[in-house]
Structure 1
Amino acid sequence: MENKGLTLLGGKTEYKQNYAPEVLEAFENKHPENDYWVRFNCPEFTSLCPITGQPDFATIQIDYIPDIKMVESKSLKLYLFSFRNHGAFHEDCVNIIMKDLIKLMNPKYIEVTGFFTPRGGISIYPYCNYGRPDTEFYEMAKNRLKNHK
């Protein structure tokens, strides 16, 4: 069955008001023998500055190479929305997102970039990545980070 273990699809959407990694859901990758990219682009990400409480706006881009599990997109949308009232610096947000997705899926490779809009005349674009240790993806992560623009 296609939706085995997925609880959010087809039901009424409940938006969490606080950071909620528990809403993330995964499903089985039907092509684990293939290495391929999956990209999510969330142009309406918001979080709060942990010092001032002012809102921060960003486009969050998530790229990953799946293994056995993949993140379900509605659950990802609700998860990202849960940052709306969460106080965290930009760099913290992208690392939290990456670590939560690693915990959920154990991907071969993942990278998360935040394209935050300017506040005070400056933009911040934090980037983080991960490649599974003891695989070619570990070396790929090191190289992509070293050569990141």
Structure 2
Amino acid sequence: MTEDNRKDEGLKALGAKTAYRMDYAPEVLETFENKHPGNDYWVQFNCPEFTSLCPITGQPDFAEIRISYIPGERMVESKSLKLYLFSFRNHGDFHEDCVNIIMKDLIRLMSPKYIEVTGYFTPRGGISIYPYANYGQPGTKYEKMAEHRFINHNMGR
């Protein structure tokens, strides 16, 4: 993306000096126009170095966060997503909350046709937790897709 395109889209983070937020900051998320809104296609982000804090002990939790979505009219800009995910570093929430908050923030931001977010949290106390949340636009085939994928999540594992 050229500097002119970045300005046309209203993107601030891309190409700018990186300023990391130290607590949960959904306001850093930015979008750009999907040039293929009539096509169904997947966009997947993997964040293998996600960290947040346990809200009870304050100890760090580590995870890989995987976000997959079928874009509608808008798409999330990847650097702003990186800064957003980094903003959880000093944020205290349970694993399940983090996954649902991420999904809901991205739904509010870009109104995707479909989205799913999975957290692969490393073991603490001998137990791994892998929360999964998904969403399909109500009244569309994506709502049915979300129901099907949810029911069949982790089949064969």
Which category of TM-score, normalised to the shorter sequence, fits these structures? over 0.9
CA–CA separation in structure 1 for the residues paired with 2:14 and 2:146:
33
Structure 1 stretches (4+) deviating beyond 2 angstroms? Answer: none
Task: Give SS of 1:2's match.
Answer: helix
CA–CA separation in structure 2 for the residues paired with 1:68 and 1:120:
43
Unaligned segments of structure 1, at least 5 residues = none
Identity of aligned residues (%): 76
Given the alignment, which residue of 37, 55, 70 partners 1:32?
Answer: 37
Is 1:101 aligned to residue 118 of structure 2?
no
Query: What TM-score results when the alignment is normalised by the length of structure 2?
Result: 0.94
Match of 1:49 in 2: 54
CA–CA separation in structure 2 for the residues paired with 1:65 and 1:8:
23
Is 1:122 aligned to residue 121 of structure 2?
no
RMSD: 0.6
Is 1:78 aligned to residue 80 of structure 2?
no
Using the TM superposition, give the Cα deviation of residue 69 of structure 1 relative to its aligned residue in structure 2, in angstroms. 0.1
Match of 1:140 in 2: 145
Unaligned segments of structure 2, at least 5 residues = none
Listed as ranges, the matches of 1:53-72 within 5 Å are 53-72=58-77
1:92-149: CA deviation from partner (whole Å, max 9, x where unpaired): 0000000000000000000000000000000000000000000000000001001101
CA–CA separation in structure 1 for the residues paired with 2:128 and 2:144:
29
Task: Give SS of 1:100's match.
Answer: helix
Equivalenced residues, count? 149
